[in-house]
Structure 1
């Protein structure tokens, strides 16, 4: 940017990412910029050749913000999209806020400030043209990086106006577009990294290379609850290309000149382990769940009304228990990170969802100031919550500090699948009390989780719609490491809740869709306690999904319904299932999403479809089990993922309600399991209460 300024001048605008609304923008002279006196939070740059450049601060792992962020700026700027360039910004906590990919919150967080940045630049360009032409600014319009005076037919490109615009005062207030006037937002725009991805250009952490760096692979304990006892590394050290074998904490790192060489040498290590804690097995967890569901020691998460009396006076009580297994995040790019620990500071490069956490934990590990640690972000080849943790970053940093050299730590697929962290295993117990008319007058939910924190979401639907409600939880602490997995907790809880609501609707003799709508209507007219979801938005997606799927009107196909609220958004789904050789086959899934304003229609469609595929595949097939603390699945040959031929047709629809964007990276996943399970019940008469579905005895042999 400094070179661009000295070469030809330009308009450089800094806009704040650290307040709830965009701060006033500051115009900077070319001389000041070239002299390095600028301290912006983030940058929008317009150059005389018409190029528009912005830095995208958040990690990109496929959620499309690296495309969506510049689209928002370009919309308000009325820019020619072909001249927009986006650059991934490094970690900078002075300039940026929330440099995090997680919680489906990037676009909601930055929506208004990005719009104001673009609109302010546009207004300044208009003022520059008005001054040159000596006409009122109100007589000018913009389009496709041009300022236009319709009365005279004159036009000037943004590039022609940049130098003059840089001298204009920054407007304190700017008018943002009405959604009806959007030309770019809401359209399908291809990802800005598509060309690099398709042509194999370096983008990901696994691609990163630095001359002189070493490669390392680490042997970790083979089971959770084991610790390192002894190491014989003589054979490994003697192998070609091996520089060193280093032991630190419970790890043994093999360092060398290539991944092939260190991987071969690691297999030559002779390591002994000893027991440090409990060596838990999946069979132990099954017994544990049963005990804790009956425990009298539970944490009450929400209690409304008189639950005991409601169940005592119920005309009918419905009960059901649902269980989910541990799951691997299994991103296609295994964990990897580069670190160079020097006397004057630390350089970190790689794929992380939480660069500030990575910096902070490395600084703490090495007992240095965080200001001495830099973090450069690469594109992430998947994360799904796994890269929220910084364990693999710490490994690289600690190893570099020991060997006094730059090093890149790479995990194999087996490392990735057996080294944690996992989606927690959970079991739920539901009970519903019905009166003589089939109204739900009581509701109980207990969640028992293994390292899950709170395995419930006590304020989600149907809370607020039932007069008497009790939601509590019990937690088991295990040596098995767990962490957030795409749509944390709700990724399974939604299936359990929505499948159980279908059971209740059937017991009440009511249509599942109408049963949910009636509960929402009750919550609207006579809410019980605090309601933290938007009733009208939830009703909207329910009605849209029912309409688009032809709910209840089709023959020859079994339909199942589900709806869920998570990450500020609402998604309803209808799954359609047919039987083939006695086994259920998912043929089609309809999804209705309310995520507020859709930024990029292409990206939004893929986020919903990707969430559906993720939710379907893991509900149907995936399972991670343990024996004596060790994972029994260590690669895709034993850990089952959905296959391309098993992906059904997915029909996506969006609610256009004109509100600001809410989350979309995760909300489409939670409803899928319930929609499919309820459809399978319609097709087979079999209630599915445990995942994965296709490991049910009757489906295994079909």
Structure 2
């Protein structure tokens, strides 16, 4: 079905190109994640690249250039955004070129990457951009040929009129299109007529990546710039004294700069700085609580037992339900701090020149980098430019601007352009981490093994709200209490891929299996029982779409042959996060007395899939990420310093440890919803539940390999 969308005069801007007969079309993108789209001649785009952010350009040659505004960190937005515009434009994808835009806060409302929100926010706006450009091009062709516009067709960048036999490419009409009247409304294509959306398209940067073309912040160079590396204080401490004499004596070191709780060594290349930083003699003193992991274990126990909790949701009479229960199931689950560990460690370039600053580097929030720089220096934000490079991973770490500010501080101090580069040790020991969290679950069952009461209490270290109180099984249980407690820690934390749900999903889904066992029910049947109850007789607010969740549960059970092979032990998990629904089944076979993880089946409902290639990669990457961190990864602290300093002790998943992954997508008829994060949360629960099914060992803490229940299992992983 075609969709008519309004494009108001205020939202629509059309100007003739001034150099080569090109066309400029702009849209007001406020309230969405991707700003206005503008169309200029290619020459104008290339000469004014810093003046625009996300825009569509059609040159006189018929080539289409689309500037992508959102930072690209592997979520494929630099490919999928242009696909949507090109679809409605009826462009020839082979003639589309994509360029990363720089920050322009006047044209952009939310120029950022995070929360799996870019496509959901921008879907209709992107379509409107392409459709409106197509409208004025068709109108220009109709006027040029003196034929009715409704008789004109467009396909792969060619405008045709069958009756007269006339045809021409986009570029032949851009000058005339510039003087056409913009429509108040445009008709969007029926989804069944899509030719680009829904087809597998390679990442537009793929060739540049595998041929080693500089794309990332770590690649950035500027003639005459200095390099810097920074020694940071342990968490909870401040600098008491600094002896930098040995560091200054290293050949290639030109300066040592102190700011805040950090000391930077500056030089011409990074290699001597690695040596010089180790020679710094910095004495610290306490500036707050200097924490260790042992302290956290004690704090968790104390807060869980008698901490003052904030009630996030309460339905029914919970006390009465538990008092009358025939059976009560109780369990606690705990997860550690985790680093983000992007392949490319933090880095950024800054050049402070009086009241003007140039910033270049990988950031998920370019405007945050600009605003914090402006606040630090006391200058107007508009005096600061931000050039966005491709990000070598982010996972939430690059939502912060701390590493940007370090570059600004050093540049100001030495009065020269400088690039700050973090080492892997810096990234692990001086970062901002996934919060450590502990959950206590309680479930009340009546004499018929019906779930009549549910309690969840979460305690987190700088986690904010540790729950997602309106997610399943909320709404499916008559008597429910969800509480959250936050401990203020000196250890900095940050959003980590699928914030909170990255562990909450594992804990909730594992506990539901414990409830199913106590009730004598199949784990999938229990979830369906609860979902059907939420559908027919919901309790309070539902923060999820019951039908979409039922859809992925049923499809995952079908695709995985749930319960049909007695030689395969299976674990089930389903979760809603970032607007999307993912169900997963892990298969374990016992071979030679040892359990072998063979396969993970994933079924995703993320609405319409824009690019199957990118979507498949996102789901597979989320599963590998979720599995690796659930099974192997831990970050512990001693006196404010992480004990794991590099990948020799900070254990990540290896290629040989990845099982077969079978991905499926449900077309629920919805517009695109989030996809960068939703596949990660269910993974840990599916694998833990499969391990229990195969071994009888219940895993309630991550990482699995450090739990005594896991130590003698000797789980193997084999690809089919």
TM-score, normalized by length of structure 2? Answer: 0.94
* d(CA) in 1 for partners of 2:707, 2:45: 66
User: Per-residue CA shift, 1:490-532, capped at 9, x if unaligned?
Assistant: 0000000000011111111111111111111111111111111
* d(CA) in 2 for partners of 1:437, 1:10: 73
Structure-to-structure mapping, 1:155-234, within 5 angstroms: 155-221=167-233, 223-234=234-245
Describe the SS at the equivalent of 2:188.
coil
* d(CA) in 1 for partners of 2:310, 2:292: 25
Contact kept, 8 Å, 2:352 with 2:358, in 1: the verdict is yes
Specify whether residues 25 and 696 from structure 1 end up closer, same or farther in structure 2 by C-alpha distance, changes over 3 A only.
Answer: closer
Is 1:45 equivalent to 2:57 in the alignment?
A: yes
Specify whether residues 577 and 410 from structure 1 end up closer, same or farther in structure 2 by C-alpha distance, changes over 3 A only.
Answer: same
Contact kept, 8 Å, 1:27 with 1:169, in 2: the verdict is no
Contact kept, 8 Å, 1:582 with 1:699, in 2: the verdict is no
* d(CA) in 2 for partners of 1:279, 1:42: 46
* d(CA) in 2 for partners of 1:156, 1:380: 39
Choose the corresponding residue for 2:478, options 446, 467, 473: 467
Contact kept, 8 Å, 1:14 with 1:40, in 2: the verdict is no
User: Which residue of the partner structure matches residue 654 of structure 2?
Assistant: 643
Segments of structure 1 that go 5 or more residues without pairing to the other structure are none
Report deviation, 1:268: 1.9
Report deviation, 1:234: 1.4
* d(CA) in 2 for partners of 1:26, 1:167: 15
Describe the SS at the equivalent of 1:289.
helix
Choose the corresponding residue for 1:527, options 518, 538, 541: 538
* d(CA) in 1 for partners of 2:51, 2:422: 38
Describe the SS at the equivalent of 1:423.
coil
Choose the corresponding residue for 2:684, options 653, 661, 673: 673
Is 1:609 equivalent to 2:628 in the alignment?
A: no
Structure-to-structure mapping, 1:475-514, within 5 angstroms: 475-514=486-525
What is the aligned residue count?
Answer: 697
User: Which residue of the partner structure matches residue 11 of structure 2?
Assistant: none
User: Which residue of the partner structure matches residue 717 of structure 2?
Assistant: none
Is 1:323 equivalent to 2:319 in the alignment?
A: no
Specify whether residues 659 and 434 from structure 1 end up closer, same or farther in structure 2 by C-alpha distance, changes over 3 A only.
Answer: same
Report deviation, 1:276: 2.5
* d(CA) in 1 for partners of 2:45, 2:198: 35
CA RMSD of aligned residues (A): 2.2
Report deviation, 1:35: 13
Contact kept, 8 Å, 1:11 with 1:47, in 2: the verdict is yes
Structure-to-structure mapping, 1:256-295, within 5 angstroms: 256-295=267-306
* d(CA) in 1 for partners of 2:58, 2:639: 60
User: Which residue of the partner structure matches residue 109 of structure 2?
Assistant: 97
Mean CA deviation greater in 478-487 or 489-498: 478-487
Structure-to-structure mapping, 1:391-410, within 5 angstroms: 391-410=402-421
Contact kept, 8 Å, 1:300 with 1:471, in 2: the verdict is yes
Structure-to-structure mapping, 1:246-257, within 5 angstroms: 246-257=257-268
Specify whether residues 52 and 415 from structure 1 end up closer, same or farther in structure 2 by C-alpha distance, changes over 3 A only.
Answer: same
Specify whether residues 399 and 28 from structure 1 end up closer, same or farther in structure 2 by C-alpha distance, changes over 3 A only.
Answer: closer
Describe the SS at the equivalent of 2:185.
coil
* d(CA) in 1 for partners of 2:41, 2:429: 55
User: Which residue of the partner structure matches residue 7 of structure 2?
Assistant: none
User: Per-residue CA shift, 1:63-110, capped at 9, x if unaligned?
Assistant: 011001100000001101011111111111110121111000011111
Specify whether residues 581 and 97 from structure 1 end up closer, same or farther in structure 2 by C-alpha distance, changes over 3 A only.
Answer: farther
Report deviation, 1:151: 3.6
Describe the SS at the equivalent of 2:650.
coil
Is 1:451 equivalent to 2:462 in the alignment?
A: yes
Contact kept, 8 Å, 2:216 with 2:392, in 1: the verdict is yes
Contact kept, 8 Å, 1:225 with 1:279, in 2: the verdict is yes
User: Which residue of the partner structure matches residue 373 of structure 1?
Assistant: 384
Specify whether residues 23 and 301 from structure 1 end up closer, same or farther in structure 2 by C-alpha distance, changes over 3 A only.
Answer: closer
Choose the corresponding residue for 2:557, options 546, 556, 559: 546
Is 1:383 equivalent to 2:394 in the alignment?
A: yes
Mean CA deviation greater in 105-114 or 156-165: 156-165
Report deviation, 1:57: 0.9
Is 1:129 equivalent to 2:137 in the alignment?
A: no
Contact kept, 8 Å, 1:15 with 1:40, in 2: the verdict is no
* d(CA) in 1 for partners of 2:252, 2:492: 33
Specify whether residues 88 and 564 from structure 1 end up closer, same or farther in structure 2 by C-alpha distance, changes over 3 A only.
Answer: same
* d(CA) in 2 for partners of 1:525, 1:629: 51
* d(CA) in 2 for partners of 1:26, 1:118: 10
Describe the SS at the equivalent of 1:55.
strand
Describe the SS at the equivalent of 1:433.
strand
Specify whether residues 668 and 590 from structure 1 end up closer, same or farther in structure 2 by C-alpha distance, changes over 3 A only.
Answer: same
User: Per-residue CA shift, 1:153-185, capped at 9, x if unaligned?
Assistant: 432111222222222222221110111000000
User: Which residue of the partner structure matches residue 9 of structure 2?
Assistant: none
User: Which residue of the partner structure matches residue 625 of structure 1?
Assistant: 636
Report deviation, 1:580: 5.6
User: Which residue of the partner structure matches residue 72 of structure 1?
Assistant: 84
Specify whether residues 35 and 99 from structure 1 end up closer, same or farther in structure 2 by C-alpha distance, changes over 3 A only.
Answer: closer
* d(CA) in 2 for partners of 1:304, 1:246: 56
Choose the corresponding residue for 2:121, options 109, 114, 120: 109
User: Per-residue CA shift, 1:409-440, capped at 9, x if unaligned?
Assistant: 00000000000211111010000001111110
Contact kept, 8 Å, 1:541 with 1:594, in 2: the verdict is yes
Specify whether residues 279 and 123 from structure 1 end up closer, same or farther in structure 2 by C-alpha distance, changes over 3 A only.
Answer: same
Mean CA deviation greater in 656-665 or 209-218: 656-665
Report deviation, 1:480: 1.1
Segments of structure 2 that go 5 or more residues without pairing to the other structure are 1-15, 715-720
Report deviation, 1:32: 11
Contact kept, 8 Å, 2:35 with 2:69, in 1: the verdict is no
Choose the corresponding residue for 1:594, options 579, 583, 605: 605
User: Which residue of the partner structure matches residue 357 of structure 2?
Assistant: 346
Choose the corresponding residue for 1:432, options 424, 428, 443: 443
User: Per-residue CA shift, 1:238-293, capped at 9, x if unaligned?
Assistant: 22111101111111110000000111211222222222222222122112111111
Contact kept, 8 Å, 1:14 with 1:26, in 2: the verdict is yes
Is 1:140 equivalent to 2:152 in the alignment?
A: yes
Contact kept, 8 Å, 1:430 with 1:445, in 2: the verdict is yes
Contact kept, 8 Å, 1:29 with 1:167, in 2: the verdict is no
* d(CA) in 1 for partners of 2:33, 2:177: 23
User: Which residue of the partner structure matches residue 93 of structure 2?
Assistant: 81
Specify whether residues 403 and 428 from structure 1 end up closer, same or farther in structure 2 by C-alpha distance, changes over 3 A only.
Answer: same
Report deviation, 1:130: 1.7
Is 1:412 equivalent to 2:427 in the alignment?
A: no
User: Which residue of the partner structure matches residue 249 of structure 2?
Assistant: 238
Mean CA deviation greater in 626-635 or 149-158: 149-158
